[in-house]
Structures are given as structure tokens and as C-alpha cells.
Amino acid sequence: MDNHPTPPKENEETVQATAPPRPPSRLKRWLIRLSAFLTISAVAHTIGAWTSIHAIMETRTAQGAVAWAVSLNTFPYMAVPLYWVFGRSEFQGYTTARHRVDEELLALEPEVETAGNSFLVTPKDPRGSHRVLTRMTELPMTTGNDVELLIDGDRTFESIFAGMDEAKEYILVQFFIVKNDGLGQRLRDKMIERAQAGIKVFFLYDEIGCHALPRGYLNALREAGVEVSAFGTTQGRGNRFQLNFRNHRKIVVTDGTTAWVGGHNVGDQYLGLSTKFGHWRDTHIRIAGPAVLAVQLAFLEDWYWATRNFVELNWIDALKQRGNKVVHIIPSSPADPQETTGLLFLEAITTARERIWIASPYFVPDEGIIAALKLADLRGVEVKILIPDDPDHQLVYLTAFTFLRDLKGTDIKIFRYQKGFLHQKVMLVDRDAAVVGTANLDNRSFRLNFEISALVVDEPFAAEVEAMLREDFAHSRIMNPTELDDKPFWFRFAARTARLMAPLQ
């Protein structure tokens, strides 16, 4: 007899409960995936639809609003993140910094007004643009200035470094791009040398333009006593998506009496030492006199945004007779209530009576600029546009070809500079006015960048600019009106496609 107890019979329900679950069938797995996809798609298209409403309400141009609305509703997966990075056209928070600077300067206003009233240009200024420009910028047009035209990099940086050597109180330095090469190290060493000599030095750089600048470069400046800050656009919780804005200004100010403004960044290529670009054609100016205060104010507003610190500067010594040139400083930014740079170009083109010559590395005008150029041509104004023949941005290069079709039937001439790369931002109006600055003729300068330009009203200075541009035209070729039509289909298609992306260029 078996004495071992018989194991109890397992309950059928217990066996079923402990058995591993059966895997879902292939059909069920497919339905689960389809349901997840449809849910994600519905969420994405809902976000895209709501974002498109924001784009329609906030995008500055009708073309941009339509493009974003279609993209956001058709391809929300890609378009939504792209919109929140590239779609914003209004810079938030900067006006707060501007008002804070204005409050700090309010105490100086009586003293500055007393010393500076004699340099203010009356409403009957030489070009009749006084009311437009002063209302647009809220800055005065001044006389009593001296302006020197600086052609190309060697002359520009020799002038800047000499001015830094002569500084007695402080030096303000601001550039969009600074490279850690020969010229960049010369600038670093000059700032260190002046700081160690007891001069206050402030260095402001764009965080995107100078993304490759090594930490050691900046640490060396800080260790020498230089005040250093990046201009970041994403400060504050509401500004975290402000990634598409750039501070494109190039400014140097010494002691509040002398300023340098123009197209040059800091790097060996801007001296013509690049094997890729060769000769680098660019233009800067040196200003001495009352107009320097407006350049200094633009720097101070940028510095306050970047650091939230107000810097005590000299606002009186510039108010002395340095020359006889009328100058109006035109800072612009995406925080402005108006599209300041675009309006500056329109004002110059529409007031021109004899000629309007524009040199710009990036020629991507909007419909308003194209219409103004055509109207100027119909008035009998000589219109010349100077752009590079060798591109540094392929989209901009391709887009420029498409404007030949817009300008057919006119006498407007587009020149392509062939002696290296053309980077200057210069405009000559009639016989008495010229603009030199940082602004290009494109959407980015009109709506997305912080820029600064100087309008100089003076016949001798305009004659210097004329001679400079004539030399540039001599090293250029004129584009044939049928040049795009003569290209192969793939090129014409690429050019038209590139133009669709003009708002991002």
C-alpha cells in the first residue's frame, strides 16, 4: 500500500489564472498601433490648427501667414516645432530693458538738452526726411559730426585699434561674429591691454554668431577685468522660443565721443585672408560728434537686456563740434513697433530723385521694396543693385535670380561683384546722402535682426561713397534679364523653390 499522500487535484480555474496570458493576435496588435497613430495624429493636427491661428494673428506678412497656416495644418509634425523656433517675428521683453535705460538716463536729460540743442537739425533738413526718421527711431538727427569712410578690413581695424589706444575712460565693443583666429586674438589682446591699463572695457557678443568662440577666449578677458556678456534672446519663461533672432550689430565706442559702425565682423576672412572667399569687400565708418550718443544708446540697451546692469557712461563730451556733417543713427530691432529697417530702405528709395545705388550681400526684397524700386525707375531714377557673384548662402544666391523676372521691362541693373566676396551694406541716394551700416536687404534684417545704420547727409561724403561704388561696379558683371530663363530646368526650379523660403533667409 502506497503511504504517500495523493497530491490534491488542481482547480481548473487556478491553472487558468496562473498560466501566462496569450499574446494578442496580429490583427489586435495592428488595431492597437493604428489607434495610437490616429490619437497622435489627431493631437498633432489639433496643435497644428491652434498654432496656425497664432500664425495668422501674429505673422507680420500675409504671405508668411498663409505659408505657415498651410504648413501647420498639412505637416504639423515638422511645422509646429519649426514655427515656434523660426515663426516668431516679435521680440518679447526688450522694450522693458529699453524703458529701464530711458528711466536711468532721465536725470541726465536737462544737461544733455542744454549742451546738445545747438546740434539738432531743424525739420527743414537737407533731405526732408527729418520728421519720418525722428518719429521712426525716436532719436534726433544731428549736425556737427565728422565721418570717415573706411574701405575694407585693414583700414577698418587699424582705425578701431588706434581709437581703442586713445581711449581714456571706457571702450564698448559689440560684434555679431568674433572668431578665435589672428584678428580675433588681436582684438582680445587689445581689450586685455586696455583693461589692464585701467580703462573700463565692455564686450558684448551674439550667442549664436559666436557659438564657436571658445570658453578660454572669454575667460582670458574676464580674468583681465573686461566685462563680458553674450546677447541671448531666450531670457525669461516667455522667451524660450526666441531662437530665430540675432543681434547683428557691429559697434565700437570709445569715451562716448567716437564710434565705429559697419559691415565687418571679427575674423581673418574679413581681412581678405580666407582661401575660400579671397578678397573680402566690406565698408565701415568712423563717427565723431553728437551722433555717437545714439550709437552708445543702442549698445547700452543691448547691454542692459543681456546683463540687467546699467552702465554709467559719458553723455556730454560728444556734444562738441567735430565737423559739419548731418548724421542720423537708425537702430532697428524685432522689438520695434515699426519695421524700421524696411521703412528706411523705402524712405530712401521713394525720396530719391536722381539715383539709388544699393550694395548688399543678401538681396531678398519683399513686394514693397520691389514696387518702390520699379516706381523709382519710372520716375527716371537710376537704380543699381550690387550683390556678390560668389555666394556664402546658397538659398540667397538662388533667390536673387528670381527677381530678374520681377524687374523685366525696367532699366534697373543688378551687378554681381566678382573680385572676391561682397559683404558691405551701403546705400547711395542722389548726390548728398549715403547709408552705411549692418542691415541687409532681406527679411532677416527687416524683421528678425537687431541692426544699426547711419545716414550721412553730406555731399563730399556722398562723393566718396560714389567713387567707392564705381570702383566696385568696375569689378562686377551686369546680370542679363534673361539669365534665369537661360538656365536649365533644375536650376530654375531650385531658384523658385528657394524664393518660397525667402522669409527664413
Catalytic residues, by residue number, are 248, 250, 255, 423, 425, 430
Contact in structure between 301 and 98 (CB atoms under 8 Å): yes
- Cell representation of residue 417: 561683384
Q: Identify the residue whose cell numbers are 585672408.
A: 273
Half-sphere exposure (Cβ direction) of 441: Cα atoms closer than 13 Å: 32
β 280-281/325-332 pair status: unpaired
Contact 262, 454 (CB under 8 A): no
| Closest C-alpha among 374, 359, 476 to residue 427 | 359
In the 8-state DSSP scheme, what is residue 239? G
What 3-state DSSP class applies to 490? helix
User: For residue 7, which amino acid is it?
Assistant: P
Residue type for position 224: A
- CA dihedral sign of residues 486, 491, 494, 499: negative
Does residue 451 come out as left (phi exceeding 0), alpha (psi in the -120 to 50 range) or beta? beta
Tell me the three cell numbers of residue 26: 496580429
Nearest to 276 by CA among 476, 424, 421: 421
CA of 260: how far to CAs of 126, 139, 229, 379, in Å? 24, 18, 20, 35
In three-state secondary structure terms, 146 is strand
Distance CA 505, CA 364 (A): 8
Output the nine-digit C-alpha cell for 30: 495592428
